[in-house]
Amino acid sequence: MRRVAQRYAQGDRQARAEVLALDEVGELALTLNELANSVSRSEAILNEQARRQQQALERANLLTEVTLQIRRSLDESEILSVSVDGVRQLLNVDRVLIYRFNSDFKSGVITAESVGEGWRKAMGQPISDPLTPALLERFRSGKISAIENRSEANLTQCHCELLEQLEVQANIIAPILVGNRLTGLLCAHQCSGPRVWDPSEVELMQQLSVQIGYALAQANLLQQQHNASKREHQLNLIGAQMQKMTHQDQLFNLVVREVCRALAADRVIVYTFDSEWAGTIVAEHVEPGWVPALNAKIKDPCFAEQFVERYRQGYIRATENIYDAGLTECHLNQLSPFQVKANLVAPIVVKDELIGLLIAHQCSGPRAWQESDLSFMRQVTIQFGFALEQVRLIAQQEEARLAAEALTEEQRRQKESLQLQLIDLLSEVEGAARGDLTVRADVTAGDIGTVADFFNSIIESLRQIVTQVKQSATQVNSALGENEDAVRRLADEALKQAEEITQTLDSVEHMTQSIQVVAQNAQQAAEVARLASTTAASGGTAMELTVHNIIALRETIGETAKKVKRLGESSQQISKVVSLINQIALQTNLLAINAGIEAARAGEEGQGFAVVAEEVGELAARSASATQEIEKIVAAIQRETSQVVEAMEQSTAQVVEGTHLVEEAKQSLGQILSVSRQIDSLVQSISEATVSQVETSAAVSRLMRQIAETSERTSDSSRQVSQAIRQTVAVAQELQASVGAFKVSPDPS
């Protein structure tokens, strides 16, 4: 046991004590062997731990070195190359590659590879291996997938065939996330055989994929900044060049060339619309090897309905793969003849009007357009629109300039022609300035001909006016002479009328005095009528006495009755007075006629006087005649009354016989009393009317005086009119002399 212990202490970890018996020595040997085994195991564990620690240290150092290398680099290809070399060295595997997804995550391409000798290379190989939704979500969440033995793994037939082609027996796959976007996979392949992956290796793979994602994000950011700066510079250069363009075709060619160069596209075109939203490719820059599209006519029946308004608002459409973008069969058939795989479409807007599209084509394959590409296209199309507007304005200015020059030249020629024609016209119409209105200008074609025709019309109108003025002046002179005589006669007649009115006024005053006398007589007649009425009343009283004395005076009453009868007959003559009054109207009418004649001489102002004079004459005549008849009747009544008295004295014996006649006489006296009263009332009315006639005569006198004054003023005004007519005659003669200077008819030949 001592020798075994020495050998073990010297490093022979296989040395063990031989157990010969189960005594104390045997038990000690067993204990020694167990201790040796324990120490060996612990030592193995410690060695393994040391190895692992050393390996971890080496890997950590290598990871740090690789991380520093990929973080120092700003070139994506260098980052990927350093990454695959570092991972293969760290994991000691047969192959490490980086697989970049296409946009559909159904296919991709190997963009970086590090492979050991003897194993198949996969660099640049396109791979079609669609990811399941679950696996795609797993990678997007940053989780790693590991296969220790391909033959024992549950793989799809497609994926298994892919691994066989690459001779993969085991692998580790880690997602590469740039920001939050899954861009590819970091794959470590063990081709020599199956392999159990240590957790540290899985963790290392996780760390490396994260660092690669950070490095790519940093590189992309810096690259984007560099690209943005470069694009900004390119944009400024393109903008500056566009500002220099003066023709539309030059501008189109510049834009497609520079945009194609800046985007590294295979083709860039300018597509302009017609009124039906179909269009033509009017400018193109295409790289060698691709089908040209210039002058191609394209019509998309769905474009007007779906895209016009969106493009007018500045919409930019980026298609990474036309076959996976859900395009219609019609649209694909329009793109496929030109070998388009991806495109970038931006609107060309001028003054809010969509006139066309600027389109970049990628024909070599699908392309993931970057935000910088879209921003660049947006800025280019904005400047393109401004430049196109400027070019159009320049073209319009040039057209306007050429038109103005042509117009100026034409105006100059027209001006010279007009000047020559105007000189000819002036020479033809020069006589009109001297008063010869018989001259005429030759009417030719053109504006001067129009002027000549207009001049001839004016001269003809002027000739007619002058002729009419001459005739009118002669007529005015003649008429004014006649008017002067008429006005002079009017003044004389007015003066004569004033004298006649004065005479009439004297007659009216005499008539007024006569009316006043008539009024006085009418008053006297009224007194007489009242006296007759009183007498009739007394007669009635006497008849009453006669009745009382009827017996004594029968005979006288009889005779009186006879006389009273005759008195009644005399009373009937009062009716004749009324007829006489009617006859008075005839005489009054004669007087009214005379007064009407006088009023007619006075004109309209004497009409009122005529009416009043007529009424006054009628009333005056009636009053005079009625007064005379009343006097006769009264005298007859007195005579008859005397006879009655005498008869009564002689007829006393006849009283008895005439008693009934007395009663009748009494009644007749009552009638006489009534008639007397009526006569009294009539005479009173005549008296009042006569007073009114006196007042009317006074008013007529005043009116006649006013008429006389008016006639005198009329005479004065007529003299003034006569003087004005003399002055008008002088003016008309001057006008006749002025128009006489014009020649209105040609000289007789």
Contact status, residue 83 vs residue 210, Cβ threshold 8 Å: no
pLDDT band at 217 (very low <50, low <70, confident <90, very high): confident
Q: Given pLDDT bands bounded at 50, 70 and 90, which one contains residue 651?
A: low
Cβ 689 vs Cβ 584: under 8 Å: no
Average pLDDT over residues 699-704: 71
CA distances from 675 to 238, 532, 599, 632, 667 (A): 141, 10, 40, 15, 13
Distance CA 340, CA 322 (A): 8
Assign 34 a pLDDT band (cuts: 50, 70, 90). Answer: confident
Strands 342-350 and 279-286: unpaired
> Residue 342: what residue type?
A
* % of the chain residues with pLDDT over 90: 11
Whole-prediction pTM value? 0.40
Position 275 scores a pLDDT of 80
Q: What is the pLDDT of residue 187?
A: 94
pLDDT of residue 742: 62
- Residue 589: what pLDDT? 58
Under the banding of pLDDT at 50, 70 and 90, the label for residue 591 is low
The answer for residues whose C-beta is within 8 angstroms of residue 164's C-beta and 6 or more apart is 150
Domain boundaries, the chain: 2-51, 73-226, 245-398, 500-713
Residue 443 Rama label (left phi>0; alpha psi -120 to 50; beta): beta
Q: Which residues pair with 95 in a beta bridge?
A: 115, 189
Q: pLDDT class for 344, splitting at 50, 70, 90? A: very high
Task: Please give the helix or strand (H or E) that residue 115 lies within, else none.
Answer: strand 107-115
| Under 8 Å between Cβ of 297 and 391 | no
Q: Is the pLDDT of residue 356 over 50?
A: yes
β-pairing, 342-350 with 267-273?
unpaired
The token duo for 246 is 């003066």
Alpha helices by DSSP H, 294-370: 303-306, 308-312, 329-335
pLDDT value at residue 581: 53
Query: Comparing 73-226 with 245-398, is the CATH topology the same?
Result: yes
Local confidence band at 133 (pLDDT 50, 70, 90 cut-offs) = confident
Report, as an integer, the average pLDDT of 137-157.
89
Predicted confidence (pLDDT) per residue in 596-608, tens digit: 677 677 766 666 6
Residue 710's CB is within 10 A of a number of other CB atoms, namely 17
Give the β-pairing of 317-319 and 170-178: unpaired
Phi-psi region of 23 (alpha: psi -120 to 50; beta: other; left: phi over 0): beta
The Cβ of residue 488 has, within 10 Å, a number of other Cβ atoms equal to 15
Query: Do the bridges between strand 279-286 and strand 170-178 make them parallel or antiparallel, or are there none, so unpaired?
Result: unpaired
**Helix (H), strand (E), coil (C) string for 375-408:** HHHHHHHHHHHHHHHHHHHHHHHHHHHHHHHHHH
Beta bridge partners of 297: 280
Convert the pLDDT of each residue in 442-470 to its tens digit.
Answer: 777 766 677 777 777 887 777 788 787 77
**How do residues 538-587 score in pLDDT, each as one tens digit?**
766 766 676 566 555 555 555 655 665 565 565 556 545 545 655 565 56
Q: How far apart are the first and last CA of the chain?
A: 182
Q: What is the Cα–Cα distance from 199 to 459, expressed in whole angstroms?
A: 122
Domain 245-398 part of CATH 3.30.450.40:
yes
Helix (H), strand (E) at residue 316 = none
Residue with tokens 């003025």: 469
pLDDT at residue number 559: 62
Average pLDDT on 706-730 reads: 70
Which one of 1.10.3470, 3.30.2020, 3.30.160, 1.10.287 gives the CATH number of domain 500-713? 1.10.287
Residue 53: pLDDT band with limits 50, 70, 90: confident
Closest CA to 612 of 508, 513, 698, 700: 700
Q: What is the mean pLDDT of residues 189-211?
A: 89
Phi, psi of 363 (to 5 degrees): -100, -20
| 623 vs 618: CA distance, rounded Å | 9
d(CA 527, CA 548): 32
Architecture, CATH, for domain 73-226: 2-Layer Sandwich (3.30)
Of 328-332, 578-582, 627-631, highest mean pLDDT: 328-332
| Percentage, residues of the chain above pLDDT 70 | 63
The pLDDT of residue 97 is 94
Output the six-digit token pair for 148.
Answer: 């220790």
In sequence order, what are the residues at sequence separation of 6 or more whose Cβ sits closer than 8 angstroms to the Cβ of residue 362?
265, 266, 340, 341, 342, 343
Tokens representing 740? 């006489």
Q: Are 523 and 687 in contact (CB under 8 A)?
A: yes
What single-letter DSSP state applies at residue 487? H
Average pLDDT, the chain: 76
Of 290-294, 497-501, 651-655, 707-711, which gets the smallest average pLDDT? Answer: 651-655
